[in-house]
DNA sequence: ATGATTAGATTGACAGCGTCAAGAAAGAAC
DNA sequence: GTTCTTTCTTGACGCTGTCAATCTAATCAT
């Protein structure tokens, strides 16, 4: 009955997404082509169109998954951190950067407007917004204590400032603009990011 | 003699670059195709290959020009700023972001590793390095005063931290991740960036 | 159960892309 | 003036995303 059919259908859908993901991680976003995805998933070159309206729809789904995973990274890091707000903020930033360095292609996809117009994909947009809300809530809890803004319109300036610092560091490292001065292995680069982020959050904490 | 020939040659080269630039600014990086560039420059679809080995070479040239212009932005802003280091730093960051918001596609091109591998284009790399050196010198002058590192190995941590803050803000605004909360017109967005950057540099100054 | 309808998947086609290769045109050298 | 070299064009190949039509298979009505 319908069960076996729908399972099979989901299987194909999942294998298409899986092929897309591995392709992206292997050869970068540019290597993710509809036809190659279909080839890897073992279906005809047109089959993906029965599951996704176009290439952008696949990217939107992958981006949405990415935002979910980033959310998990951040929630677990903040939960493990010590109670002090400064510690929570630092943990949040570290998780953000750790995610970026460990999932470079997904991170790029998530933060490049022309890759997929999130306005056209409400599901993915909701997942992104949930992430940003978590950032705002975590950082904002600290920010409101040192700002004079009222509750109805919390001052976003400190939130965005701190978020920008973490995001910029992630981006610059990801794109290799900081040279190899900070090591080549992932561990070395994570450690370097931690040092820089520690400095930043120290500055922002006072 | 050779003069008219080389002038004409340079003209074609310049018109190819001009066509590339306008195409990029109109339709984004994805719209920059060799064949469309050739069409706009009024030459055959293969002519650009006599001036650039491939598509990436054009991107490298455009990126190099971008780094030159960013350098000018920053030098003139720092020159006009008041003498205090904090003011110079703020001016530097503002110029950085102003450049990004006014030249979004070039900025993207300049900071995306997969667009052109700068290691393969020493000229463009030199222009990029000159920019980064200016950032390091301007910010580093402040950083060394508050760090305990010796001169032979100046502490890059504060430099990168501040650079990241500006770069992240530019990136997030450019990619529309901060929503429309900060206005839609360019002026409004520049003003918002100024406010956030003012907060950041205030935090970093103490 | 059988015929009608419909949903799913495939094959084929088209226009566009980057780029290699070969030929044409034009200028310089002797 | 004839050769040679450099500059440019035309043509081709394989790739891409996606539309259109066909073929298959499953659902439903009777």
Residue B11: give its domain's CATH number: 1.10.10.60
B165 touches chain A (CB under 8 A): yes
Distance of B4 CA from C22 C1′ (whole Å): 29
**Which protein residues have Cβ within 7 A of any strand C atom?**
A 8-9, 12, 43-47, 49-50; B 1-2, 5, 32-36, 45-46, 49, 54-56
Predicted local distance difference test score (pLDDT) of residue A154 = 60
Chain A nearest-CA distance from B170, in A, is: 8
Distance of A1 CA from C1 C1′ (whole Å): 19
pLDDT for residue A136 is more than 50: yes
pLDDT bin (cut points 50, 70, 90) of residue B9 is: low
Predicted local distance difference test score (pLDDT) of residue A164 = 97
Are A168 and B166 in contact by the 8 Å Cβ rule? The answer is: yes
Q: Which residues contact A152 (CB under 8 A, 6 or more apart)?
A: none
pTM of the model: 0.90
Tokens 């502490």 correspond to B155
Q: Which residues of B touch A29 (CB under 8 A)?
A: 114
For A171, the closest of B168, B181, B204 (CB atoms) is B168
B163 touches chain A (CB under 8 A): yes
Q: What is the Cα Rg of chain A in Å?
A: 20
Predicted local distance difference test score (pLDDT) of residue A1 = 33
A154: left (phi over 0), alpha (psi -120 to 50) or beta: beta
**Residues A37 and A111 reside in one and the same domain:** no
Strand D nucleotides within 7 Å of a protein CB: 7-12, 15-21, 26-27
Query: Which residue pairs from B181-188 have beta carbons closer than 8 angstroms and sit at least 24 positions apart in sequence?
Result: B181/A156, B186/B101, B186/B102
**Residues A117 and A183 reside in one and the same domain:** yes
Contact A114 B28 (CB under 8 A): yes
pLDDT in tens, B64-123: 999 999 999 999 999 999 988 889 999 999 999 999 999 999 999 999 999 999 999 999
**Residues A63 and A87 reside in one and the same domain:** yes
pLDDT bin (cut points 50, 70, 90) of residue A131 is: very high
pLDDT for residue A9 is more than 80: no
Predicted local distance difference test score (pLDDT) of residue B142 = 61
pLDDT for residue B153 is more than 50: no
Chain A nearest-CA distance from B43, in A, is: 28
**Residues A116 and A82 reside in one and the same domain:** yes
Contact A177 B132 (CB under 8 A): yes
**Residues B143 and B70 reside in one and the same domain:** yes
Lowest mean pLDDT among A109-113, B73-77, B135-139: B135-139
The boundaries of the domain holding residue A5 are: 1-52
Q: How far apart are CA A33 and CA A23, in angstroms?
A: 9
**Residues A178 and A165 reside in one and the same domain:** yes
SS3 A150: coil
Contact A167 B168 (CB under 8 A): yes
Predicted local distance difference test score (pLDDT) of residue A57 = 95
Q: How far apart are CA B100 and CA B109, in angstroms?
A: 11
Tokens 């700068």 correspond to B118
Predicted local distance difference test score (pLDDT) of residue B180 = 72
**Residues B155 and B97 reside in one and the same domain:** yes
Q: What is the CATH number of the domain that holds B98?
A: 1.10.357.10
Q: Which residues contact A201 (CB under 8 A, 6 or more apart)?
A: A86, A89, A90, A93, A162
Query: Between these two residues, B38 and B148, which has the higher pLDDT value?
Result: B38
pLDDT bin (cut points 50, 70, 90) of residue A148 is: very low
pLDDT in tens, A158-199: 999 999 999 999 999 999 999 777 788 999 999 999 999 999
**Residues A48 and A77 reside in one and the same domain:** no
Lowest mean pLDDT among A5-19, A46-60, B3-17: B3-17
CA B146-A168-A205 angle, 5° bins: 50
CA A173-A175-A180 angle, 5° bins: 55
End-to-end, the C-alpha distance of chain A in Å comes to 64
**Residues A109 and A182 reside in one and the same domain:** yes
The total domain count for chain B is 2
Q: Which residues of B touch A203 (CB under 8 A)?
A: 161, 203-204
**Residues B44 and B91 reside in one and the same domain:** no
**Residues A71 and A133 reside in one and the same domain:** yes
In this complex, the residue with its CA at the shortest distance from the C1' of nucleotide D19 is A46
B206 touches chain A (CB under 8 A): yes
B178 touches chain A (CB under 8 A): yes
For B175, the closest of A112, A160, A170 (CB atoms) is A112
Average pLDDT over all residues of chain B = 88
Describe the crossing of helices B85-102 and B157-174 by its angle, rounded to 10 degrees: 30
Here the tokens at position A10 are 């989901």
**Residues A180 and A193 reside in one and the same domain:** yes
B149: left (phi over 0), alpha (psi -120 to 50) or beta: beta
pLDDT for residue A142 is more than 70: no
Of A52, A77, A94, which residue constitutes the final position of a domain? A52
Are B81 and B87 in contact by the 8 Å Cβ rule? The answer is: yes
């Amino acid at each position: 009955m319908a069960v076996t059919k729908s399972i099979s259908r989901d299987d194909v859908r999942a294998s298409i997404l899986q092929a897309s993901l591995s392709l992206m991680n292997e050869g970068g976003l540019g290597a993710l082509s509809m036809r190659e995805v279909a080839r890897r998933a073992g279906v005809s070159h047109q089959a993906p169109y029965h599951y996704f309206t176009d290439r952008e729809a696949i990217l939107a789904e992958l981006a949405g998954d990415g935002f979910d995973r980033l959310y998990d990274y951040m929630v677990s890091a903040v939960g493990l951190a010590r109670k002090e707000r400064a510690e929570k903020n630092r943990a949040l930033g570290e998780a953000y950067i750790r995610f970026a360095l460990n999932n470079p292609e997904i991170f790029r996809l998530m933060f490049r407007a022309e890759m997929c117009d999130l306005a056209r994909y409400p599901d993915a947009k909701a997942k992104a917004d949930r992430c940003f809300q978590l950032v705002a809530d975590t950082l904002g809890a600290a920010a409101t204590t040192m700002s004079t803004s009222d509750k109805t319109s919390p001052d976003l300036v400190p939130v965005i400032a701190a978020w920008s610092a973490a995001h910029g560091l992630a981006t610059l490292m990801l794109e290799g603009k900081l040279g190899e001065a900070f090591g080549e292995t992932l561990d070395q680069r994570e450690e370097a990011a931690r040092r820089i982020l520690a400095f930043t959050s120290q500055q922002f904490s006072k």
